[in-house]
Amino acid sequence: MADGQLAARAGDWADRVTSIYTIAAGMIGVGVTGFIQFFIVLIGSTVLIVKAIGMSSREAISQQVPIEWFRIWPAWQWPRLGEWSDTSAWVLLVPVALTWVIKGLALGVGGPQQLYDLQRFLAARNPREASMAGMIWGVGLVPMFMVSAAVGVIGLVTWGGSVDNPAVLYPLVIGTMLPVGLKGLVLAGLLSAFMSTFSATVNAGASYLTFDLYAKYLKPEASERHLVRASRVCSLMVVVGGVLVGMAARNINDIFDWIMMVLGTGVLIPNVLRWFWWRFNGPGFAIGTLVGVSAAIGCAAFFPAVPDYVRFPVLLAISLLSSILATLLTPPTDSATLDNFHRRVRPYGIWGIVRKAAPDVATRGANTDFAWDAISAVFTAVGLQALFLISTYAVTHQWSSVVISGVVLDKCSFAPYFTWYLRLPDPTEGSDTAGT
């Protein structure tokens, strides 16, 4: 059996196995298997890193890429990316990269999104553990960068630019560059990464369908046993729907770009405004999201050739304008709801009117935790970036940069202990007291 066919067969079985234990075990199964799968991914990633370091050199890589590849700030344009259809949109590398950075910052400022990651935080026992889960989430992304760096360097020194489609580089490296034992280990690691995300997504989607739709509107009197059975049916529906969408898509890049840069852009602004502006209300959120998503779909349908770095600010402006207008043209949220939200969350931003009118004197002051959180976010972002870059510098034999990244990681890991960890809420605090 060819390596490509073997990878495809393994992927099919991973789909089936993951669907079965996700539907049967629910959140417990997702949590336990995700923990185990992380270490499998880490082992497989380490094997690839060691392989890439052993077969590459700075000189061999330099023959395949321009000198800008080794600089901390990339070249504005990268014409070589235009040689492949899947990467042609990234020729203007810096504008596209900045677009993704800004989108990522907006996602972070907007708080938990209604995606599968939110379920992990809601499953925590208290706000303190939910806060620490966010830190662990960032560290857990390390194997992803390790695999990308290793596969990219192995592909460069082995095939150069002769690969017709960069999307086949993963199975090509694993199928031809690794011996039988290591091949199975690395393949198990990649499948574990897929299965972990797949199971969490299916479980989260089923939860929304079961509790936010079925239990709330269709059968509010349903028992817990009935809802468990309903959630399993919803899990199966999510799996089938995902398979149908996957069969209809031309490639994974189309799906990823559609979700992240088309639909995702339409909900960014409403998610940010809900935390930072007291006047923002339900109609503003609903209309802002509807208009933003509609504009994103329309842009993708009628202007598919418009690059992301042009489309992104336009969609943000449309969503912002529609959210503000819808909010100002509709009645504000009642004072009791606003006070309850402010008391529990203590949001930062334009909340002065609510703070002054708060019946609880202790909550009338401004939230000083936000400033400490912002400082911690800077240290954490720089530290995580250094952590992610260590593997990239290692496979490209930039050892001085490995040392520098290690020092930066050490210093940035030390500061949040004082600015973030020591300020976490007490473990005894429950859901009625907001965490940082």
Full DSSP string of 49-92: HHHHHHH--HHHHHTTS-GGGGSSS--S--GGGGGSGGGGGGSS
DSSP 331: P
pLDDT computed for residue 38 by the predictor = 79
Q: How would residue 166 be classed by pLDDT, with cut points 50, 70 and 90?
A: confident
pLDDT computed for residue 436 by the predictor = 37
Full DSSP string of 254-276: HHHHIIIIIIHHHTHHHHHHHHH
**Can you point out the beta strands (E) in 303-435?**
none
Q: What angle do CA 241, 290, 257 make, to 5 degrees?
A: 50
The partner residues of 277 in beta bridges, in order of sequence, read: 350
Q: How would residue 156 be classed by pLDDT, with cut points 50, 70 and 90?
A: confident
3 state SS of 350 = strand
The partner residues of 350 in beta bridges, in order of sequence, read: 277
pLDDT computed for residue 367 by the predictor = 66
Q: Which residues contact 68 (CB under 8 A, 6 or more apart)?
A: 74, 75, 78
3 state SS of 277 = strand
Q: How would residue 434 be classed by pLDDT, with cut points 50, 70 and 90?
A: very low
CA–CA distance, 238 with 407 (Å, rounded to integer): 45
- Judging by beta carbons within 10 Å of its beta carbon (0-12, 13-18, 19+), is residue 252 exposed, middle or buried? exposed
pLDDT computed for residue 399 by the predictor = 92
Instruction: Tell me the torsion sign for CA atoms 171, 173, 179, 181.
Output: negative
Q: How would residue 249 be classed by pLDDT, with cut points 50, 70 and 90?
A: low
Q: 137-141 contacts: CB < 8 A, separation 24 or more?
A: 138/380, 138/384, 139/384, 139/387, 140/38, 141/384, 141/388
In a 13 Å sphere around the CA of 87, the CA atoms on its Cβ side amount to 17
Q: What are phi and psi of 77, to 5 degrees?
A: -120, 145
CA–CA distance, 10 with 313 (Å, rounded to integer): 41
CA–CA distance, 50 with 40 (Å, rounded to integer): 16
Determine the number of helices (DSSP H) and then strands (DSSP E) in the chain: 18, 0
CA–CA distance, 290 with 292 (Å, rounded to integer): 6
Q: Which residues contact 188 (CB under 8 A, 6 or more apart)?
A: 40, 44
CA–CA distance, 190 with 11 (Å, rounded to integer): 10
pLDDT computed for residue 302 by the predictor = 83
CA–CA distance, 341 with 354 (Å, rounded to integer): 10
The residue type at 97: A
The residue type at 269: I
pLDDT of 188 higher than 90: no
> pLDDT per residue over 326-347, tens digit each?
999 999 999 888 888 888 888 8
Cα distances from 24 to residues 177, 258, 372, in angstroms, run: 37, 30, 42
pLDDT computed for residue 432 by the predictor = 45
Over residues 200-223, mean pLDDT: 81
pLDDT computed for residue 234 by the predictor = 87
Cβ contact 288:326 at 8 Å: yes
The partner residues of 157 in beta bridges, in order of sequence, read: none
More confident: 150 or 345:
150
3 state SS of 59 = helix
**Range with lowest mean pLDDT among 16-20, 152-156, 230-234, 323-327:** 16-20
